[in-house]
Structure 1
């Protein structure tokens, strides 16, 4: 690990001023950034520790949603009574995402900003356009059994690692931030950039930005949600394929449907094609399967990961059937 300076500011203005120095990075729980520093992937000249700034806690918003403070720990979010009652898929995703020790340290903002776990990204000796633009994508023709099947390009086939982010895609979240000049909001649907030819440009945040909170839109009391994660082992592991789903029925008619897949693309994948087919339809196994087929018709599996298409195709109707059964009972 290379030498770096460490600064713990006492307020947000000081944090932003401190980050204006070249090579500075904000530090929250450090569960991802510190590992990347140890491996040589990240080499900031200064760490600006924002964990003790007044950005923690969960509060109600004026419109009836919830605001998750940027430095609120994953454990606090998962255990919060209103999160569990109104946004259960979020709580379930966090609990599925990491060990208890990591959840106690990891922060809400840090979770959104974690980097891919692609082995080529994590090894400075390997080619990786996301880590070193212009060097190529080693995974494209190399080891890629757990890489993307949707929306990948020749520049990058890595997947996004966050379980929490997949669930947030359901709830029309907004990411609030501050820079030294202004405050701003990025809708979660636009927070992660498409991989395109610039995989190193991962989010829509301006430079030197401090995330201050994540706002969840209000949901109806009859919207049921669930998060299901398929992984290679039952203990702490990243998703092979995951699904966050929310369903609201009026009898058998689907009033509201929201689906997001994880482990299949460089960002949480909102399954808009499947949603469009399901909305206002009857909650039947045949329709659930047809929706999964429609969404996965755009899949472009690589040499060794076609199995993910079958996993996702089976996961969508299975979780929807569980939600529909819950709704009807």
Structure 2
């Protein structure tokens, strides 16, 4: 990206029978979005034109066959395929899953080659994308394989950030997957992410317990005492500001989360249920810890409303803005890190209302 150009936002189209296409197009219905970025949708212009007509949207599309043909101030659609795709809104379809993977793979390849600056992914169906060549429980795991770094699911909103020690792991396997090494690795990743990508110089990190009531001194499991507490003590001894473990059941209801820059949950639902209760529709899923930047909305394919033209694009809009802001904050951090004598920080990115 040159200084005179906009940040190029690559977009994987997700499950075509879900609401992904609708929220993507509605995001760029307001032409002022082009003041912040240049979108590139990885799909086919024929298909995206079908969705444009289906949702009666007054937007102009620019079909391209090469990323060298991107035009700023346009909604670019890269032809990853050209054949006709049968759309059946709300239906789970393995063939549709294959197209979701094609879009994602092409977008990730472009991200790795720096042909796009950031990636925003529309929702996929984790079941219908499974195949011999794609056997991942979600975007995060796939990106961990394809991109450099230690990936970590970090849910973000204006008032709350929630990270996970384990993400797409069955509840019965959570405790055995949480080791001292994992805890230290995840917290180190989050600590660095908050500094590098969010400009928080001295992050305050809260950690939730593994068991109910942190195990009640071993009555309800001993993992909090034998694994979690020793790991947190070691992290504190290394100079990081880490608090906990906190009993998860009262942590959010009491408002205690407001005292910290991030909350780390032990498993998926322990963190995502309160996050989506407090921030649904404005939250963003950020894959922290990677060399490249990827965000997504905080919801799924929403088959129940797919094709009804009622999907709310707000979370996808936030995902785009978050990717842009993180990209700019990280670039500034990298510039300052190269020149530690530089003290005049640029004004932070501010989203126009």
Question: Which TM-score tier does this pair reach, normalised by the shorter chain?
Answer: under 0.3
Give the structure-1-normalised TM-score: 0.26
Q: Work out which structure has the larger RCO, using CA pairs closer than 8 Å and 6 or more positions apart in sequence.
A: 2
- Report the structure, 1 or 2, having the larger helix content: 2
Larger radius of gyration: 2
Give the structure-2-normalised TM-score: 0.25
